[in-house]
Amino acid sequence: MQIEVGVSGLTRPPVDALVPTAKALEDNGFEAMWFADHFLHWYPPSVWTPDLFPQAATEPSPHTFLDTVPLMGAVVTHTERMIVGTGVTDAIRRHPAIIAQTFATLNHMSHGRVRLGLGVGEAENIVPYGLSYTRTASRLIEALEVIRLLWSTTDPVDFSGEFTQLHQAVLGLGPYDGRHPEIWVPAHRPRVLAAVGRLADGWMPILTDAGEYGDLLGTIRASSMAAGRRPDAVRPGLYVWVVCDEDREVAEQALDSLALRLVALTAPSSLFEAAGAEHPLASRWGLLDFVPTELSRDVALAAARAIPDEVLRTYYTWGTPDDVVARLVPFMRSGCQVFNLTNMTPAADPALAPRAGARNLDIAQGLRSAASAIPPAAAG
């Protein structure tokens, strides 16, 4: 079984670290870098104080994000093989025509090494900026249709949708070497999963159960066939939040950090229900609805303390590199071919940051070794 292992790209200063990091990753065999597209981090400003986060003494805000697009452009102009993608952007902050042109441009710059990761959006990047955060699935599906339409021809096109209207619109920049950027979507629900099967090239969800992963992949494959595509037209991936150290106890202690407890407030209510608890911020809260700037210090800290340990152990893929690989092997057996490793360990304990790159490499090597033992027929 052939797999691809990528990591999350640098999206925060110092910018000077970006290119050397990308080159080192490429030299170490990582195939891809996925760049988050954020305005806000998951940490409420109310808790970003030196007594809780020592780095706050030198970093006045937890929300210092760089613009994704120029970062991707820098990486592709200084690497030879590295694939870059958004993990992910949305079509609420960026108009579909702008997305189509931007990623067509990156595709030419990279000689075909760019991926458009596109999702429904997250409230924290939309609601505080006065943008509409309603009917997000419909907006995403329509955006996919518009982008595909604009990439399909250099002639003028019309489109009459609920959110986008095109009247003799032209995107004259054609594909690079006959190929448009791949579109990857982190779908989890039936309607968007069906759209993935019809319109996307890759699937990059955040899931904690390999059995559920296989079931949802089956929905995508059925949709691809219904649309007249091959059942394997969509490449299956997985976005993985890793908490890892060569010492399992160190990784386990990192789970209990305030930083990871705050991020775990983005966990879906179903994980809390499975742990016999309610989400401390009410059931509507989760990755798509979390807006950290709305939380006072007292509320944020109380909510973080109330997260059950079982949620932390389920939401994060944690342990030694071998532990992480063992938890991901069932996903490969369910069909997963692409992994995006986001190492959360430095967020839990900045002192562990120097070891994170080596642990990512250990995980990647372990995944490739495990994949070589899985016959293609056994995957999916």
CATH number at residue 362: 3.20.20.30
pLDDT, position 284: 62
Give rounded-to-5 percent helix, strand, coil for the chain. Answer: 45, 15, 40
- β-strands 89-90, 83-86 pairing: unpaired
Is 304 inside a domain boundary? Answer: no
CB 82 within 8 A of CB 74: no
For residue 127, what are the CA distances in angstroms to 39, 273, 363, 364?
Answer: 11, 27, 36, 37
Is 72 inside a domain boundary? Answer: yes
pLDDT, position 291: 94
pLDDT, position 37: 98
CB 185 within 8 A of CB 118: yes
Closest-CA residue to 37 (of 115, 105, 122): 122
Domain that holds residue 117: 4-246+320-378
Chain centroid to CA 15: 21
Query: Which positions ≥6 away from 198 have C-beta within 8 Å?
Result: 223, 224, 226, 227, 229
Is 361 inside a domain boundary? Answer: yes
Question: How is 165-195 classified by DSSP, letter by letter?
Answer: EEEEE------BTTBPPEEEE---SHHHHHH
Q: For the whole model, what pTM was predicted?
A: 0.97
Which tokens in the block code for residue 361? 């490499």
**3-class secondary structure for 199-213?**
HCCEECCCCCCHHHH
- What span, in angstroms and rounded, lies between the C-alpha atoms of 150 and 154? 8
Quote the DSSP letter at residue 291. Answer: -
Q: Residue-wise over 171-185: b if at least 16 C-beta within 10 A, else e?
A: beeeebeeebbbbbb
pLDDT, position 286: 81
Is 312 inside a domain boundary? Answer: no
Report the number of distinct structural domains present in the chain.
1
pLDDT, position 104: 98
Is 266 inside a domain boundary? Answer: no
Is 293 inside a domain boundary? Answer: no
pLDDT, position 303: 95
DSSP β-bridge partners for residue 185? 203
Alpha helices in the chain (DSSP H): 18-27, 68-77, 96-110, 136-152, 190-199, 210-226, 248-255, 258-263, 269-274, 297-305, 309-315, 321-333, 345-348, 353-372
For residue 170, what are the CA distances in angstroms to 100, 151, 159?
Answer: 11, 10, 12
pLDDT, position 377: 65
- What span, in angstroms and rounded, lies between the C-alpha atoms of 113 and 90? 20
Query: Which positions ≥6 away from 350 have C-beta within 8 Å?
Result: 54, 55
Tens digit of each residue's pLDDT, the chain (380 residues): 999 999 999 999 999 999 999 999 999 999 999 999 999 999 999 999 999 999 999 999 999 999 999 999 999 999 999 999 999 999 999 999 999 999 999 999 999 999 999 999 999 999 999 999 999 999 999 999 999 999 999 999 999 999 999 999 999 999 999 999 999 999 999 999 999 999 999 999 998 899 999 999 999 999 999 999 999 999 999 999 999 999 999 999 999 999 999 999 999 888 999 999 999 998 666 888 999 999 999 999 999 999 999 999 999 999 999 999 999 999 999 999 999 999 999 999 999 999 999 999 999 999 999 999 998 766 77
